[in-house]
Structure 1
Amino acid sequence: MHGLRRTGTERIRPMTIVVPYAAGGPLDKSARILAEGAQAQLRPIQVQNKPGAGGNLGADTVAKAPKSGNLLVMGAVATHAVNPWLYKNFPYNPVKDFTPIVLVARTPNVLVMSAERAKALDISTTTDLVKYMKAHPDQLKYGSGGNGSIGHIAGEMFKSLTNTRMPHAPFQGAGPALKALQDGGVDIVFDNLASSLPLIQGGKLKALGVTSLGSDDALPHVPSINSEVPGFNVSTWFGLFAPATLPAADAQKYATAFSKAMHSPAGKAQFQKMGLTPEELTLGGFGSFVRSELGKYEFLIKAAKIHID
């Protein structure tokens, strides 16, 4: 009946998880894992991709959704911690307009070069890269998924901490930036580990370091950039948010169901294939984490003088 299911005389509207980015990425895949795993405890769940404005379009749709309890967004570090400091006319409040449900995953970015380029320049570590950049300023170019993206912020932070110079080439998304890296259009990229992992494992990309404070289980032999460039720490995270109008009882029910789906054997196995480990934070704990990240990126973005408009 047009997506509605009858239970006696009651109609149950399907729940929708809005993914504010294009299909196929880690957030989209994660949303589909959660939709499949939690619908038995909740209701039918569908996933809708609504990309645009760096993720703001999809997130704003949920922020302003009517009080129905059937719309969630797979928000991320960009939509809830980075973008508020990049756009002058930001459309929503990342804290007041949402009810945090569950932090799904945290994953570092990874500093990558094409394996061929790294070999040609004799670069195998972050320290090697810094030495080359100091000896050849402005000769290497870094690509990112766009102005204000995590890859852009990571690149500017890296230049600042190492006192080096390299031009930035923004692309319309992380996918095109990664393709440019493989094609030789740019020399390095700070990419999401989940998307780069297959190319690293396949020998096409050389991983120089991960952007978290320590190494990552998916790449145990790749050191953190922080171990060679002290103070460097930029990670990607994403999780489910509901509109602020969601009743507390429903928020608790959703958090329980999605956490169960994430930590089920099937859910963990699917996340592991992407190099991700499901997280534990829900509700208030997740909310505190978001507020902390919002303050962190306010400092980083203002210090680097990054802006969109």
Structure 2
Amino acid sequence: MLALLGALALTAVRAEAQTAAPAWPQRQVTVIVPFTAGGTTDLFARIFTQAMQQKYGTAFVVENRAGAGGTVGATAAARAPKDGYTLFVGTASTHAIAPYVYKSLNYDADRDFQPVSLFATLPNMLVVSNQIPARTMSEFVAYAKANPGKLNYGSSGIGASNHIPAEIISNLIGTPMTHIPFRSSNEIMNALVGGHIHLAFDNITFALPQSQGGTVRAIAVTSKERSPTAPEIPAIAETFPGFDIGTWHGLFAPAGAPRAVVDQVAADVKEIFSRPDVVAKLKEIGAVAAPNTPDAFTAFSRSERERYRVIVREARIEPQ
């Protein structure tokens, strides 16, 4: 009887605690995306928010805050309330590259964020205007060397994951190229198709369909190995051994967000990005679903910052 009473009392305490601390979410959750709508980062965010809204019956709203290679949105997320009702889709640009290409950031990529989970990884793809005669990496290198200072390339801004590969290649072949920043991959592709820029190292998500449609020409992917989605396209590493400049997208919360919420959302990300239809959809666009735990994502983010610290230094990119 005493044991039964004790168990009942414990149950009552637990019920009271649950009543005192309602389950998350109780109201709208805002997911900040640091790039424009319709881009790769936005795509991952909407896969996540749509699934979460269906599960919880609560609004999950994407808020696009583009600018400065993603750092405008990252700054807004870092300053948001730490209550679990603001989340952020970070990338290699915002959390691994930006600390080394900007003289001053209004956020600390490590201190101001709590990693939740990776979404996916994917390579960039070197694509050129059809005005450029090169069809292979070797032909591109030869053409660039024969036209020093005449080529320009588009990116999403200084420090973006589609900016760094161009600077590295420029240094490797010893030929300067002019950087022209845009706000989004859509703008980059429109400029490339229109012949306003000569090349781009953009996400395979946008570059591959354009190359398949013949409006631009795919030369190589920036990952260490060929992409399973487009195995016919060589990797730059086949010409420059060791070259490996892919990108990734993942979910963060402002540092200090309740750990219970962080763990709950991480479990949701794992479930969503393990669904066969989601995995298949990502594979179609050249991405690999890669959900993990908050601790694993924290370790991954830190290792990526260290990797890009070396890459940026060796590429001789001066902080802006």
Given that 1:80 and 1:294 are in contact with CA atoms closer than 8 Å, whether structure 2 keeps it comes out as yes
Query: Given the alignment of the two structures, is residue 193 of structure 1 paired with residue 208 of structure 2, yes or no?
Result: no
What is the match of residue 35 of structure 1?
A: 49
Bigger Rg, which one: 2
Structure 1 distance, partners of 2:287, 2:307, is 23
Structure 1 vs Structure 2: percent identity of aligned residues?
37
Query: Given the alignment of the two structures, is residue 109 of structure 1 paired with residue 124 of structure 2, yes or no?
Result: yes
Q: CA deviation at 1:36?
A: 1.6
CA 1:58–1:169 in structure 2 vs 1: closer, same or farther (change >3 Å)? closer
Deviations 1:95-133 (A, max 9, x none): 12111111111111100013x324xx2x21101111222
SS class of match (2:154):
strand
Two-structure CA RMSD over aligned residues (Å):
2.2
1:14 to 20, 28, 51: 28
Structure 2, unaligned stretches of length 5 or more? 1-18
Given that 1:148 and 1:308 are in contact with CA atoms closer than 8 Å, whether structure 2 keeps it comes out as no
Query: Given the alignment of the two structures, is residue 222 of structure 1 paired with residue 233 of structure 2, yes or no?
Result: yes
- TM-score normalized by structure 1? 0.88
Q: Which moved more, 1:134-143 or 1:66-75?
A: 134-143
Structure 2 distance, partners of 1:265, 1:223, is 27
- TM-score normalized by structure 2? 0.86
Q: CA deviation at 1:147?
A: 2.8
What is the match of residue 74 of structure 1?
A: 89
Q: CA deviation at 1:275?
A: 2.7
Alignment of 1:1-309 (within 5 A): 12-42=26-56, 44=58, 45-114=60-129, 116-118=130-132, 121=133, 123-307=134-318, 309=320
Given that 2:118 and 2:250 are in contact with CA atoms closer than 8 Å, whether structure 1 keeps it comes out as yes
Q: CA deviation at 1:214?
A: 0.1
Structure 2 distance, partners of 1:113, 1:176, is 15
SS class of match (1:85):
helix
Given that 1:148 and 1:306 are in contact with CA atoms closer than 8 Å, whether structure 2 keeps it comes out as no
Given that 1:12 and 1:43 are in contact with CA atoms closer than 8 Å, whether structure 2 keeps it comes out as no
Structure 1 distance, partners of 2:208, 2:32, is 25
What is the match of residue 11 of structure 2?
A: none
CA 1:82–1:43 in structure 2 vs 1: closer, same or farther (change >3 Å)? farther
Structure 1 distance, partners of 2:36, 2:244, is 26
Structure 2 distance, partners of 1:79, 1:226, is 25
Given that 1:34 and 1:258 are in contact with CA atoms closer than 8 Å, whether structure 2 keeps it comes out as yes
Deviations 1:233-272 (A, max 9, x none): 2111110001111232222111111110111133224323
Structure 2 distance, partners of 1:252, 1:226, is 37
SS class of match (1:151):
coil
Structure 1 distance, partners of 2:215, 2:99, is 35
Given that 2:35 and 2:184 are in contact with CA atoms closer than 8 Å, whether structure 1 keeps it comes out as no
Q: Which moved more, 1:248-257 or 1:166-175?
A: 166-175
Deviations 1:144-201 (A, max 9, x none): 2333322221111012222333333333443323222212222211111111121112
Structure 2 distance, partners of 1:133, 1:249, is 53
SS class of match (1:186):
coil
SS class of match (1:263):
coil
Structure 2 distance, partners of 1:245, 1:170, is 34
CA 1:70–1:169 in structure 2 vs 1: closer, same or farther (change >3 Å)? closer
Q: Which moved more, 1:72-81 or 1:163-172?
A: 163-172
CA 1:251–1:42 in structure 2 vs 1: closer, same or farther (change >3 Å)? farther
Q: Which moved more, 1:198-207 or 1:262-271?
A: 262-271
Given that 1:83 and 1:148 are in contact with CA atoms closer than 8 Å, whether structure 2 keeps it comes out as yes
Structure 2 distance, partners of 1:67, 1:206, is 45
Structure 1, unaligned stretches of length 5 or more? 1-7
